[in-house]
Each structure stands twice: as C-alpha cells, then as structure tokens.
Amino acid sequence: MNDSIMSLCNHLVYEERMKCAKVEIAQARLYLPLHVAITPYDGRRRRRKFHQQQQQPMLTQAHDTEQWLSLALAADPAVVFLDTDVVKPMRARSPGAGAGAGAGADAGTGARSLSEAQTQAQAGHGEGKDKDGRLFNAIEGHVVQLLVRGLIEKGMSTLDEVGVISPYRAQVDHLKEMFEKNREQLTALRDAVAPAVVAAQEGRAIDGKVALGTGSLVAIESTPAGSEGGSVTAPSALSAASGAGASAAVLSLDVSTVDKYQGRDKDVIILSTVRQASSSSSSSSSSSSSSSLSFADRDRDRDREDSPMVGDLLRDWHRINVAITRARVKLVIVGSGTTLSHVPMLAELMSMVKDQHWHVQMPEDALEMYSHVLLQADDTANQSGEESQER
C-alpha cells in the first residue's frame, strides 16, 4: 500500500510500525488516462456551473461541493471519505417520464413503484432492511455505482483491480445486483471511451481533445511540460455510451464482504459502511473516543453496548483493520461520519481524515445532480429485464 493508506493504518492500528518496502510503493498513485471532470446535471439536464477548474493537488475541506465525484477519483489524496450525512435519496419519478425529466418529477400516484425494502431505505436516510430483515443502504449503493462508472469514464478499461467491500452481506448482495443490472451499459461505456484512452496514451490529442468511438469529442488534460494549465471540464461520455455495442470482454467487478477479503488486495478499494442513524439519534459523537487506543482497549470497546446505532460489525477493530488495509493505491470510504463517530476507533478515523483534508462532505443533492446517470442506468436495466422475459 502507498504512504497515505499506510499512515491511516498506522494511526488506527499499528502505531507507526508499518513501513513501505520501497519508495516506488510509497509514492504509487491511481492512474486514470482521461482526466475528465465528470459533469453533474440538475433535474432538467442542464449543465451545472463548475467552480473554476484549477488543478488541486490535494483536497480541501469540501462542503456541499458539486465536484464530489471528481474529487473522490483524483490521484491525490489516496484516501477519501465520502460523508453521506446529509445526502437525500433519489426522488421517484413517473413511469412515463424520460431520463431528462425524471429527476425533477414529483413522487405521486404515478410514481415508479418501489419494493418495501427500497421504500424503507429511502424514507429520510439510506439505511433500510431487505425482505429478510438484513441491513443495506440504498444511498451508498448509488454512490458506489457512480464511483465505478466514474472510473470507467476516466479511462479504466478493466475493473480487475477494483474491489467493492462491505461488512454487511445484504449490502454486498444489493451492490452485486446493481452491477449485474448495469453490466452491459458499463461495458458499452468502456468501449465508447476506449478510442479516447488510446489517443491520449499515444499523444494524439488535438487541442486537448480526443474522439470517442461515437465521433464526439471529449476534453482531456493535455498540458505540455513547463506550460501552465488546469483540468478541463469535459462533456459526459455516458450519453455516447448508450449506443455503443457490447464488447466481447464483458466487465466484471469483485464485490464481497470484508471478511472474505482477508489476505487479498486491490489497487482500488471502495468500502461501503452502511450504517446511518436518524438525525435525532446521531446528533452527538461518542464521548468515549480517544486519540490513542491499545489493542486491549479496542477489544473491550467491541463488547460494549454503547453504540447500538452502529452495530457489532463496525465496532470490531479487527474487521475495520482488514477493510482499510486491502487497498494499494486508492481507498474510498463511503459512510455517515456522524454515525461512525459513535465508535472510538472510527471516531479516530474521522478525526484523521478531516485533519488530513481527506474528508468530502457530500451535498444533500449529491445523487440528484447525477440523476441523468442513475435514471439512464435504471431504464437500461429495466429494458434488459423486459427483453429477457419476452424471450
């Protein structure tokens, strides 16, 4: 693992005893060939106006930022905590509404029908229970979905070095189902972006732009050595991908529980923590947190019942240690900072990510601003399901 991920592990568990074997390992960072800014849209599909696109080597303490997705996938910092505390669920839309108007449609009598579990998960916060009473988080599921799509849009041609993990089996099942429904569309997106990736790698960019497979242009960062320049906002390639043919090399994604990831690692790890208490029960952080806890202290804390809103899985420091040590170059943690802060070890984690400016407070409309992506994915999945039933 690189130096940033190792510093988090050392702070939480290993008391600075872990060392990188080589400088190259310590300095390794995520490489994505297309440095495009993934542009959000509002419910009427208009382009949102970005802040001035200045290259940021490190994250600042970012509150209510439209750029949360691009920030989360940046090479630096290597550790990012996406805080879902105030994120609102996707609004339901009428079955007849198109992808362009879907996000802005009010939920009413004609709203798309939701399963009981989805309704519960969308009732004010993301945490809910499936039909078997197991915990999952629909909001975090959508965030993970956007992160995976973002990696592909930025030029990642394979997901072999991406791992998505969660302590909760129901969340793993939920994420697997989401990926399976959208596998063909993600593969088509990968194929549409592929020509731009090759052009960028071969230095064939013209005026900072390269052509996608559909003939449209996408802007990339193409700053010659010694010249000044910032990142360039590019139009989303998602719409271009919808008409691309499926590749023979269909994408696959490794989604698993934290426990099953022991002894394994990936370049990129996305950790979904699931638990999100209601605002009334998570208004204050745990008073039992401390700057340094011994292994014995952590074992005692695991057996305490002072954090019922978080549960046993996230109070087990052994499991948390496994989760954060699986990533080599990029670790993205998705969760409710307020809720997790009720556990001493996770309160330490929150303190460090804030001190290091690795913390991104997602805005309440973080999902709505990417509704054109999520609704398009839902439509594609529903159409595929209907075609399968007809056959």
Q: What pLDDT, in 10s, does the model give residues 150-170?
A: 999 888 989 999 999 999 999
User: Who's near 370: CB < 8 A, 6+ residues apart?
Assistant: 40, 41, 69, 146
- Count of CA atoms in the C-beta half-sphere (13 A) of 62: 24
For tokens 């046993």, what's the residue?
Answer: 312
Comparing 77-81, 107-111, 273-277, 311-315, the range with the smallest average pLDDT is 107-111
With respect to residue 225, please indicate whether it lies within any of the assigned structural domains. Answer: no
Comparing 188-197, 230-239, 370-379, the range with the smallest average pLDDT is 230-239
Do 334 and 33 touch, CB atoms closer than 8 A? no
Q: Would you say residue 42 has pLDDT above 50?
A: no
- pLDDT band at 13; cut points 50, 70, 90: very high
With respect to residue 209, please indicate whether it lies within any of the assigned structural domains. Answer: no
With respect to residue 205, please indicate whether it lies within any of the assigned structural domains. Answer: no
Measured between alpha carbons, how far is 29 from 26 in angstroms, rounded to an integer?
9
Q: Would you say residue 36 has pLDDT above 90?
A: no
Q: What is the mean pLDDT of the chain?
A: 73
Number of domains in the chain: 1
Domain that holds residue 133: 3-192+234-390
Pick the most confident of 83-87, 195-199, 371-375.
Answer: 83-87
Comparing 159-163, 217-221, 226-230, the range with the smallest average pLDDT is 226-230
Task: Kindly report the number of other CB atoms within 10 A of residue 387's CB atom.
Answer: 9
With respect to residue 377, please indicate whether it lies within any of the assigned structural domains. Answer: yes
With respect to residue 254, please indicate whether it lies within any of the assigned structural domains. Answer: yes
With respect to residue 226, please indicate whether it lies within any of the assigned structural domains. Answer: no
pLDDT at 302: 42
Paired tokens of 103 = 């996000």
Q: What percent of the chain has pLDDT over 90?
A: 41
DSSP annotation string for 214-270: TS-EEE-----TT-----EEE--SHHHHTTSPPPSS----EEEESGGGTT--EEEEE
Q: Left if phi > 0, otherwise alpha if psi is -120 to 50, otherwise beta: which for 359?
A: beta
